[in-house]
Structure 1
Amino acid sequence: MTEPADRWRDPAFVAAAHQWIHDQLDRTVEPVVEIEQTHVTDWSTVMRVRTRFGVKWFKANDETMRHEGAVTAFLAPRSGERVPRPSALDPDTGWMLWVDMSPRLREVIAEERTLVRWLDVLEAYARIQIACEDEVEELLALGLPDCRLATLPGQYADLLTTLTDPDPRLPGPDAIGELCARLASYGIRETVQHDDLHDGQVFVPFGHAHILDWGDACVSHPFFTLAVTLEGVISWGVDDVEDSEDLEPYLAAYLGPYVAHTGRDLAELREAARLAMRLGWVCRAINGALPQDPERTHVRLKMFLDGKP
């Protein structure tokens, strides 16, 4: 049986991608020297493009994430220079090129032995979300999934029907609806949400953090992002030890722009954030569900129940 990832290794696709890359770059001052396919998953592939004057990266996504390039281009001018604009983008295929943004935050953390750079990333990311509060319809039109609070209970109900051997502790859709109503009562506006913001998605060229890989992004409650980023990544610290890092400074860094923007008290926003961290795992389970990888969905739902994998 053909595996989903085989589409990216198919000679016809590779030849077409190479031709597109050459078309974008050979006519400029950056003629292509070498192209190497460095990364293949079921849903996307990445190629390293060495030109005469440096390195660029090519990315192609499947239909579920084809919107990534357009969304990235949309966010770039609203990001305070924290989201790089693709240097080339095909609106039909979603293929894109961007300049090399190395190193990743992951490598920087391993060298510096501290997570302190996350404070700047989280503050900048919150500002991107705030800047897009009035752009929800445009983001949905670009293809971002709708995971707003009003949609979540129904999507959760649909997800439950796909599970084999579900955890008996999982509540029904009505309980999820009650949690969504509680979170909505805080009045935080829904906006773009990365939904997979970890240290492999943040790049730090010249010490200035940039956020890439918006393929998993959705429109949702902004604080849902804290599930993956705080509980799933930062809490594990430098040495990947569970609960080894105090989350409060990072939560405060993220919420700082919302305090200024909403005029709400930090303590009140912390309450909303803690509720959102639980529901954020429901959003991630729904938005990131892969039929070929049901175990990942079970882990995310366990995070919703226990805050631990």
Structure 2
Amino acid sequence: MTTSSTLEPDWSTPQWRDDALAWVGDALAGPGLRVTGPVEPRVRPWSLVWRVPTDAGPVWFKANNRGTRHEAGLLAALARLTPGAVLRPVAVDDDRGWSLLPDGGPSLRDVLAGKKDLTYWERVLPEYAAVQVALAPYAAELLDLGVPDHRTEVMPGRLAELLEDRESMLVGAANGPTPEAYDRLRAYRPEFAEVCRRLAEVEVPATIQHDDLHDGNIFVADDGYRFFDWGDASIAHPFGTLLVTLRSVAYAFELEPGDPALVRLRDAYLEAWTDRYDRATLRAAADLAMTVAKVSRALSWQRALLTSDPARAEYAEAVPGWLGELFTSNPV
């Protein structure tokens, strides 16, 4: 990466906007497209997204902040390594964290609006698991692209480092953990290390872990599903995916933790690894991995909020908030 990859973009300046629009225009010229109207922006502390109208329908431009900049290069790698599982980018600039994607059509959330049909998820999860299995041999390559390292063996150290980052932890802030809660998290470190040790004993290879796989981040196509919004992704234990996914399903379908429907979805996902492990071992590993993923989620938020944007304050509680989830039960 060049030095520019470490600088925080100023999305509000006319110069940045002009540069980005010129890049989009050049990228569209290749396939013979042109911009036909003003862009429609959506800005978050971690990214800016434009809906760009063209003479062949909308395309989507995304610029990531420094904490999530790896997403652009990851998108290109995923399109190369697992074609059909993601949208093929029109263009990427991995140094600047820019990507341009075609329109993906309806999301799973759109399709499920007003429905209580879990069969979609019963098909989605095995497809996503297949992507993870296919990408495991490329974990080192993806790490070299800058995808964050959340492998099981490094996570005890990552938790310790995060707890020492008093700004991210909001120590002493009104919306931060109480002194008692903070001390409880620090005291939990040996137990967390033991969780990681037990998880590592089940030698499931580390691979891509989306870390925010819910119905809003999946496109539904006639020939399957496309997974998008990889800014929170890391190289980690694959089963950690289940934390956000099952929690989101439970919320959308009004299911209590441990509901048989959630158990069925977990088992459908784990089926991809039953050629090497018995189901009881996989279920136990899934529970451990979901616990580890709570630290992964906190780290993802810490990276996403590496910005001076004042709007980051609205989301800052997510970092200690996810660590507080270490003392709550998993969805199954």
> With structure 1 as the length reference, what TM-score do the two structures score?
0.90
Using the TM superposition, give the Cα deviation of residue 241 of structure 1 relative to its aligned residue in structure 2, in angstroms.
Answer: 6.1
Distance change >3 Å, CA 38–CA 243, structure 1 → 2: farther
Counterpart of 2:292 in structure 1 is: 279
Q: Does 1:297 align with 2:319?
A: yes
> Secondary structure at 1:54's aligned position in 2?
coil
Mapping for residues 47-58 of structure 1, pairs under 5 Å: 47-58=50-61
> Secondary structure at 1:209's aligned position in 2?
strand
Name the count of aligned residue pairs: 302
Contact kept, 8 Å, 2:52 with 2:59, in 1: the verdict is yes
> Secondary structure at 2:63's aligned position in 1?
strand
Counterpart of 1:251 in structure 2 is: 266
Question: What CA deviation, in whole Å up to 9, does each residue of 1:125-175 have, x standing for no partner?
Answer: 111111111112111110011111121111111211223235244343222
> Secondary structure at 2:161's aligned position in 1?
helix
Using the TM superposition, give the Cα deviation of residue 308 of structure 1 relative to its aligned residue in structure 2, in angstroms.
Answer: 7.4
Contact kept, 8 Å, 1:119 with 1:253, in 2: the verdict is yes
> Secondary structure at 1:271's aligned position in 2?
helix
**Counterpart amino acid of residue 115 in structure 1:** L
Q: Does 1:84 align with 2:100?
A: no
**Counterpart amino acid of residue 139 in structure 1:** L
Contact kept, 8 Å, 2:257 with 2:330, in 1: the verdict is no
Counterpart of 2:245 in structure 1 is: 229
Counterpart of 1:115 in structure 2 is: 118
Tell which has more relative contact order, 1 or 2 (C-alpha 8 A, sep 6+): 2
Contact kept, 8 Å, 1:216 with 1:287, in 2: the verdict is yes
> Secondary structure at 1:47's aligned position in 2?
strand
Counterpart of 1:210 in structure 2 is: 226
The structure 2 residue matched to 1:183, chosen from 196, 199, 202, is 199
**Counterpart amino acid of residue 267 in structure 1:** A
Question: What CA deviation, in whole Å up to 9, does each residue of 1:157-207 have, x standing for no partner?
Answer: 121122323524434322211110001111111111111111111111336
Q: Aligned Cα RMSD in Å? A: 2.3
Using the TM superposition, give the Cα deviation of residue 281 of structure 1 relative to its aligned residue in structure 2, in angstroms.
Answer: 0.7
Using the TM superposition, give the Cα deviation of residue 242 of structure 1 relative to its aligned residue in structure 2, in angstroms.
Answer: 5.2
Stretches of structure 2 lacking an aligned partner (at least 5 in a row): 1-7, 172-176, 307-312
Counterpart of 1:157 in structure 2 is: 160
> With structure 2 as the length reference, what TM-score do the two structures score?
0.84
Which range moved further: 168-177 or 131-140?
A: 168-177
Cα distance in 1, alignment partners of residues 29 and 197 from structure 2: 54
Cα distance in 2, alignment partners of residues 148 and 189 from structure 1: 9
The percentage of aligned residue pairs carrying the same residue is 38
Counterpart of 2:309 in structure 1 is: none
Question: What CA deviation, in whole Å up to 9, does each residue of 1:281-304 have, x standing for no partner?
Answer: 122112322374331123212322
**Counterpart amino acid of residue 150 in structure 1:** E
**Counterpart amino acid of residue 316 in structure 2:** P
Contact kept, 8 Å, 1:18 with 1:35, in 2: the verdict is no
Counterpart of 1:138 in structure 2 is: 141
Contact kept, 8 Å, 1:149 with 1:221, in 2: the verdict is yes
Question: What CA deviation, in whole Å up to 9, does each residue of 1:79-105 have, x standing for no partner?
Answer: 351112211112331211111002111
Distance change >3 Å, CA 181–CA 144, structure 1 → 2: same
